[in-house]
Amino acid sequence: MNRTLVEFIRKKKSSNKVYGNRSLCCLSTTNKFRAFFMNISSAGLFNAFIIITILLNSIVLALEEPPKPGMKKEEHLQETMEIAFLVIYTGEMFIKIIAMGFLLEPDTYLRDPWNILDFLVVVSSWGSH
């Protein structure tokens, strides 16, 4: 059981990933467009990238300072980084929705409680910008 981090990250697909027959009512599992996103969403590098992004986002939030008087919102570094993180999380959400489907079939994006939480956080974050 001595696996290095690199071996773990390079692992191509997780063995327990299940996808519905159709995604977004029109994309079958054999559709090349959907297959591309299925490969991305199940790749170890993708998951490692998201975990690292979450850790970096947590560090940025912990170091956050209120903007100084007279500073424009666009000049505040944390605001810029927050938008960058939000774009990454939105990309993750769309990749998973295309790969898994959205809601109608079993094993789709919104059938997983963690994905429901992610969806609500991403949508509400965009609503506050």
Instruction: Give tens-digit pLDDT for 37-77.
Output: 999 999 999 999 999 999 999 998 888 777 677 777 656 77
Residue 12 has pLDDT above 80, yes or no: no
pLDDT tens digits, one per residue of 71-112: 776 567 788 899 999 999 999 999 999 999 999 888 899 999
User: What string of DSSP letters covers 76-103?
Assistant: -HHHHHHHHHHHHHHHHHHHHHHHH-SS
Q: Which pLDDT score is estimated for 75?
A: 62
**Rounded distance, CA 30 to CA 36, Å?**
10
Any domain includes 86: yes
Q: Which pLDDT score is estimated for 31?
A: 94
CATH of the domain at 57: 1.20.120.350
Q: Which pLDDT score is estimated for 73?
A: 62
Q: What is the residue type of 107?
A: D
Any domain includes 34: yes
Any domain includes 3: no
Q: Residue 116 is part of which domain span?
A: 29-64+76-127
